[in-house]
Structure 1
Amino acid sequence: MAHVSNICLVDFAPPVAHPLLAPVLVAAGYPSPAQDYFDGTLNLNTHLIRDVTSTFVVRVSGDSMEGAGISDGDELIVNRALTPRDGSIVIAILDGELTVKRLLLKAGGVVLHAENPNYPDIEVPDANSLTVWGVAETCLHDLRN
């Protein structure tokens, strides 16, 4: 099961501008002839964080969400101000622990769905008994590993 192993406040130090190439789309097949075209800078704080006061970064531990592109050790940008919707990836509190799952709203209740067939769905018959801690907005996946 994928659990949350760390919670960090987002550091909103002075923004650092990173070079942005235009077009922003990068070819995954053949290289683009426009690959050397520089188009200013991109501030990652303003690009990734919508609500400074309710945004946290959590580190994932486990592999139950691999089908959603979330791997062990990834970090999720989580917004606690967002209203969870059907299909949202949420941080939920189960048995006193934080876990990462896809929220499915069904007629018979709520399902916390793992995106790995090795893990069963968690059915929550009474939605009022479930606490959603926040909604994941972005997954930071380290490609160096």
Structure 2
Amino acid sequence: MPIETTTLSHTVAIPLGAVHPEPPELHLPMGAARVALGFPSPAEDFLDEGIDLNQVLIRNPAASYLYRASGWSMILAGICDGDILVVDRSIEPVDGHIVIATWEGNQPTCKVLRLMPTHIELHCRNPRHTPIVLPLETEVEIYVVASVARQMHRGHGQYSGSRTISA
């Protein structure tokens, strides 16, 4: 079976660099009440203790690298174009993990790892894309995606701060 090369139809991972081994703590305020995703319920106005996003997103700074996702082949795994992928090289990849893989000079790609007895498959989480099949003898570097960070993008001219809207 021929090897399918990474194309723009797949979600590629663009290296951003290593994670700072000892980032300064940055505690941000966190609401104590959870945000309802369905019908809202009355909530009290108070804040919980702050959290440090470095501690939440990065488990092992010395082994972690950041990549930016480019493409939509992993949308059903919750990974969107432009997301920042935190890769932890200290985690042993196993079947079913979301990984960054690179082989034979191809651009790093983000996929779901499937280990088969005779080959490796890298699956998309978008039904429009077919898996990449690699023979076992292919030299492939595989690293586990440990977390994902996303910045919300707003359309041009929209208000970006918080506000109250009256009905």
Cα distance per residue 1:47-105 (max 9 Å; x no partner)? 21110101111011122211211111111011011000111111101331211110012
Determine the structure 2 residue equivalent to 1:14.
Answer: 24
**Alignment size in residue pairs:** 143
Deviates more, 1:88-97 or 1:4-13: 4-13
Asked which structure has the greater CA Rg, the reply is 2
CA distance in 2, matches of 1:57, 1:22: 29
Alignment of 1:98 onto 2:111: no
**Secondary structure of residue in 1 paired with 2:133:** strand
1:129 has 2:139 as partner:
yes
**What CA distance in whole angstroms lies between the structure 2 residues aligned with 1:35 and 1:4?**
41
**Structure 1-normalised TM-score?**
0.87
Tell me, yes or no, if structure 1 residue 83 matches structure 2 residue 92: yes
TM-score, normalised on structure 2? 0.76
User: Which runs of 5 or more structure 1 residues have no equivalent in the other structure?
Assistant: none
What CA distance in whole angstroms lies between the structure 1 residues aligned with 2:44 and 2:38?
Answer: 13
Q: Percent identity?
A: 36
- d(CA) in 2 for partners of 1:30 and 1:7? 38
In structure 1, the partner of 2:54 is 45
Q: Amino acid of the residue matched to residue 76 of structure 1?
A: L
- What residue in structure 2 maps to residue 72 of structure 1? 81
1:120-142, Cα deviation, whole Å (9 max, x unpaired): 1111231663221x210111122
Task: Name the SS for the 2:108 alignment partner.
Answer: strand
Structure 2: 5+ residue runs without aligned partners?
A: 1-9, 155-167
Within the candidate set 68, 87, 97, 1:59 is matched to 68
Q: 2:37 aligns with which of 28, 31, 34?
A: 28
Distance in 2 (CA, whole Å) between partners of 1:115 and 1:73 is 16
Question: Would the aligned equivalents of 1:17 and 1:44 in 2 still touch at CA under 8 Å?
Answer: yes
CA distance in 1: counterparts of 2:76 and 2:16, whole angstroms: 23
Equivalent residues of 1:83, 1:135 under 8 A apart? yes
Specify the alignment match of 1:108 in structure 2. 118
Cα-Cα RMSD: 1.9
